[in-house]
């Protein structure tokens, strides 16, 4: 089949519009694309189907750099919602979403921790998970945007198992891995050292791993190396920064965020809006290009 992918430009003040434009100079083959964003930023995409989403935000008459956060959030949010509705209606097969600023989305009235949780709400599903992909390394975050001090209290056997099951389903259905091998990353140094450095491994992570048929928990300083060597198909990371750091070290500039658990495929680059380098020519399109290519590839594999 020929995949159809909706691509959102993200925050109109950020690097999203320019990295999408650069990525689509060399689009994935045999893929139809729909680009959604502010009308004044759609000119570089006239070879594709486009959808302008700023009719209510008055962005078309303003320099994106001078747009206030609320207006920018409305545009980015409208693009995401419209793209999600297209996917749910079967008008597109997948989404590749540009980077957004969470503060702007919140100020515009979209009160979700991130696009992952928001898309889950729009799709009516509760168990969604954030997977980061860099080459052969796949890392799934058990907790995402939380203060570090809240992580130990948030980790439960039930939470780890739910994220693990969502991961297993994604690996089977989207990557077509019939018997996925997953590992659990430890929370504490030396995997707790038998309770000397913390008991979350014995109390939460090890029981969850047993229920999932997963390996671990293993220390963070070894488990990602083992995954890169091909021992595991994915690693569950209990904290956001540990998992993100592993992926960015393994493939900085080409990592992709994949939302598992949705009824449609969604990918995104592994970077933010980078307001400080907009228009300088320094923004790399590698991660955005990888996100669009992976969205197309996963549609083919799934179908």
Residues 104 and 136 in one domain: no
Query: CB–CB of 13/65 below 8 Å?
Result: yes
What's the total number of domains in the chain? 2
Q: For residues 176 and 6, what is the distance between their CA atoms, to the nearest angstrom?
A: 23
Domain boundary among the residues 260, 277, 294 is at 260
What lies within 8 Å, CB to CB, of 130 at 6+ separation is 114, 116, 140, 141, 144, 257, 258, 259, 260
Structure token digits, residue 145: 């945007």
Residues 218 and 301 in one domain: no
Residues 303 and 190 in one domain: no
- Judge if pTM exceeds 0.95: no
Residues 205 and 143 in one domain: yes
Q: What is the pLDDT of residue 65?
A: 66
Q: What is the pLDDT of residue 63?
A: 66
Q: What is the pLDDT of residue 237?
A: 98
Residues 197 and 256 in one domain: yes
Residues 83 and 157 in one domain: no
Looking at the DSSP assignment, which residues form a beta bridge with residue 5?
Answer: 33, 94
Q: What is the pLDDT along the chain (303 residues), one digit of tens a residue?
A: 799 999 999 999 999 999 999 999 989 999 999 999 998 899 999 999 999 997 555 565 556 667 888 999 999 999 999 999 999 999 999 999 999 999 999 998 888 877 888 899 999 998 999 999 998 999 999 998 889 999 999 999 999 999 999 999 999 999 999 999 999 999 999 987 888 888 999 999 999 999 999 999 999 999 999 999 999 999 999 999 999 999 988 877 789 999 999 999 999 998 899 999 999 999 999 999 999 999 999 999 987
Residues 93 and 217 in one domain: no
Domain range for 140 = 127-260
| CATH code of the domain in which 226 resides | 3.40.718.10
Residues 4 and 120 in one domain: yes
Residues 136 and 251 in one domain: yes
Residues 17 and 164 in one domain: no
Q: What is the pLDDT of residue 60?
A: 52
Residues 232 and 131 in one domain: yes
Residues 121 and 42 in one domain: yes
Q: For residues 8 and 78, what is the distance between their CA atoms, to the nearest angstrom?
A: 10
Looking at the DSSP assignment, which residues form a beta bridge with residue 33?
Answer: 5
């Amino acid at each position: 089949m020929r995949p159809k992918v909706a691509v959102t430009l993200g925050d109109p003040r950020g690097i999203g519009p320019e990295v999408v434009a650069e990525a689509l100079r060399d689009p994935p083959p045999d893929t139809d694309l729909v680009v959604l964003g502010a009308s004044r930023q759609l000119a570089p995409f006239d070879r594709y189907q486009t959808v302008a989403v700023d009719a209510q935000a008055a962005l078309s008459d303003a320099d994106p750099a001078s747009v206030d956060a609320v207006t920018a959030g409305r545009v980015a949010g409208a693009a995401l919602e419209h793209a999600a509705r297209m996917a749910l209606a079967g008008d597109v097969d997948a989404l590749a979403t540009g980077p957004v600023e969470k503060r702007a989305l919140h100020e515009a009235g979209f009160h979700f921790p991130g696009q992952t949780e928001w898309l889950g709400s729009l799709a009516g599903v509760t168990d969604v998970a954030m997977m980061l992909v860099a080459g052969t390394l796949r890392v799934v975050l058990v907790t995402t945007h939380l203060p570090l001090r809240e992580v130990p209290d948030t980790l439960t056997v039930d939470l780890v198992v739910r994220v693990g099951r969502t991961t297993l389903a994604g690996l089977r259905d989207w990557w077509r891995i019939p018997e996925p091998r997953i590992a659990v990353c430890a929370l504490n140094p030396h995997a707790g050292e038998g309770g000397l450095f913390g008991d979350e491994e014995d109390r939460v992570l090890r029981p969850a791993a047993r229920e999932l048929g997963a390996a671990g928990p293993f220390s963070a300083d070894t488990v990602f190396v083992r995954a890169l060597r091909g021992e595991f198909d994915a690693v569950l990371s209990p904290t956001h920064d540990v998992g993100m750091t592993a992926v960015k070290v393994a493939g900085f500039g080409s990592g992709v965020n994949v939302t598992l658990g949705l009824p449609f495929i969604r990918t995104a680059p592994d970077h933010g809006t980078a307001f400080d380098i907009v228009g300088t020519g320094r923004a790399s399109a590698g991660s955005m290009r990888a996100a669009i290519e992976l969205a197309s590839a996963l549609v083919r594999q799934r179908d």
